[in-house]
Amino acid sequence: MEKTSRLKSWVSGRINQAQVDRYLEDGRDFIPDAELESKLAPAPPPAPARVREIIARALAIQTLEPDETADLMRVRDPELWAELEAAAGQVKRKVYDNRIVTFAPLYLGNRCVNNCLYCGFRSGNAAERRRVLSLDEIRGETEVLAGRIGHKRLIVVYGEHPDTDVDYMAESIRTIYGVKVPVGRGFGQIRRVNVNAAPMPVEELKVLAEIGVGTYQVFQETYHRQTYASVHPAGSLKSDYRWRLYSMHRSLEAGIDDVGLGALFGLYDWRFEVLGLLYHARALEKRFGIGPHTISFPRLEPAENTPFIQETGYRVTDEDFRKAVTVIRLSVPYAGMILTAREPAPLRRALLPLGCTQLDASSRIGIGAYRSRSGEQVSDRQQFLLGDTRTLDEVVRELALMGHITSFCTAGYRCGRTGQCIMELLRSGQEGRFCKLNAALTFQEWLDDFATPPTRAAGEPILAREIEDIRQRMPAVFPAFMKQYERIRQGERDLYF
């Protein structure tokens, strides 16, 4: 009884309406449903010349207009789709070159006051075993991630619950940053903690900003209001569409200026969600001059005792998913795109060339799963089931064989290259300069500390090619780069430009 009233009182104090209202324009938010629906209304496919004009805008790293994105989603001709896919890959290379970033999710607790129909953590799911990691357990998980696997970046994930409130978040993140494990010639350490958590008020976001987090992600799940209401039961905290919609505005206001958007594909028409993401990116650009640092596009996955997933009428086929990824890449050309291990390995392999920039690897999403001996997924302790459980070493090797360098660079937020600054660098292609140097340094570091012999063998030629490229394309900084590089080879760690 006491527990229920404690929860109720915590929930009732969470939403600060003034922190939503101040962003509304004439009482309206930035998702005009009817306008989005009208842009998606049946119409003939666009002429090839129009499609190519739109491609040219994306290649100039311009955010597309909603009508342009809607037109791309109307293309039927397979050859034009092939052009779109090729352009998506080109946009990615223009902004991010051949770099891919890897990370791991770390789930810290599965207690949750919400009852989202699609989620294994929902409060009504009696089959879920509930647990919140202690600081010692977090240290243990981090030791595996940073010391054994070799991750430098994590996304920490929390349910919405007073047991994992902002104080817990702050403590857990500080604990993660504090772990340093001797390995190889240096040490393993998590250098960037990104956060996926429920919407928070500005005061709490400021606490996270002060600790120094990377990206703050809140997925809108669905931009379609009616569907949003039907999957988030009325009266639950999460049922407040606008509180969630303006999370990123509050984040930017609080000083966390790398923000991550996302929609959960499979709740409503995928084309509506793609437009929703675009409207969201444009709203942030308009208000703050900063768009999203990343966009995520998780697809609904099966979860323990969660029948909704089989019942939704909007599961996205692989073919449509491919289209969605292509159109998102072209619509918001500067944004990082995260392709998670929800998807099976062959599909990730096929989608990567469409412009994805970040992959998770060695992922375990059970609470406390990194330290547990069995590599099995534990369905009653995780939010959903993963499609790709390959190790980081395997993923890095495959990326190298495909011609990509894995970047373990985490310099961005630590030296102020975030928000508006990074937007300008990305748009002008200059961020690539720092990133290229840092990718080479951190890749060498990782090969020395963590790679298995076959991964080393696959990675070294990529690195050699990269260093030669730096010598030719950046002769002025090459000597300084080589100095840092030699220091890394001698065992120094965490050097960056």
Indicate the SS3 state at residue 407.
strand
Using CB under 6 A as the binding criterion, the count of chain residues that bind ligand SF4 stands at 10
Looking at the Cβ atoms of 217 and 407, the one nearer to ligand SAM is: 217
Indicate the SS3 state at residue 258.
coil
Contact set for ligand SF4, span 168-207 (CB under 6 A): 198
Looking at the Cβ atoms of 252 and 300, the one nearer to ligand SAM is: 300
Can you tell me which residue has the tokens 């449903």?
33
Q: Which of ligand SF4, ligand SAM, none interacts with 219 (beta carbon under 5 to 8 A by kind)?
A: ligand SAM
* Residue from 75, 106, 132, 157 binding ligand SAM (CB under 6 A): 157
384 makes contact with ligand SAM (CB under 6 A): yes
Looking at the Cβ atoms of 105 and 432, the one nearer to ligand SAM is: 105
* Residues near 477 by beta carbon (within 8 Å), at least 6 away in sequence: 433, 437, 470, 497
Q: Which of ligand SF4, ligand SAM, none interacts with 88 (beta carbon under 5 to 8 A by kind)?
A: none
Q: Would you state the structure tokens that stand for residue 285, as one six-digit string?
A: 């650009």
Whole-number Å distance between alpha carbons of 423 and 252? 14
Whole-number Å distance between alpha carbons of 115 and 11? 13
Whole-number Å distance between alpha carbons of 299 and 324? 11
Q: Which of ligand SF4, ligand SAM, none interacts with 218 (beta carbon under 5 to 8 A by kind)?
A: ligand SAM
Q: Near ligand SAM by CB under 6 A, which window of 204-212, 214-222, 283-291, 355-363? A: 214-222
Looking at the Cβ atoms of 158 and 408, the one nearer to ligand SF4 is: 158
Looking at the Cβ atoms of 160 and 301, the one nearer to ligand SF4 is: 160
* Residue from 122, 282, 364, 436 binding ligand SF4 (CB under 6 A): 122
Q: Near ligand SF4 by CB under 6 A, which window of 43-51, 115-123, 293-301, 401-409? A: 115-123
* Residue from 300, 316, 324, 369 binding ligand SAM (CB under 6 A): 300
432 makes contact with ligand SAM (CB under 6 A): no
Q: What angle do CA 491, 392, 446 make, to 5 degrees?
A: 10
Q: Where are the strands (E) in 218-308, listed by range?
A: 259-262, 294-296
* Residues near 43 by beta carbon (within 8 Å), at least 6 away in sequence: 74
Q: Which of ligand SAM, ligand SF4, none interacts with 196 (beta carbon under 5 to 8 A by kind)?
A: ligand SAM
Whole-number Å distance between alpha carbons of 133 and 70? 44
Whole-number Å distance between alpha carbons of 340 and 309? 18
CA distances from 153 to 182, 213, 231, 338, 360 (A): 17, 11, 31, 13, 10
Q: Which residues bind ligand SAM (CB under 6 A)?
A: 118-119, 121, 157, 159-160, 196-198, 218-219, 221, 264, 298, 300-301, 303, 309, 342, 383-384
Q: Which residues bind ligand SF4 (CB under 6 A)?
A: 112, 114, 116, 119, 121-122, 159-160, 198, 238
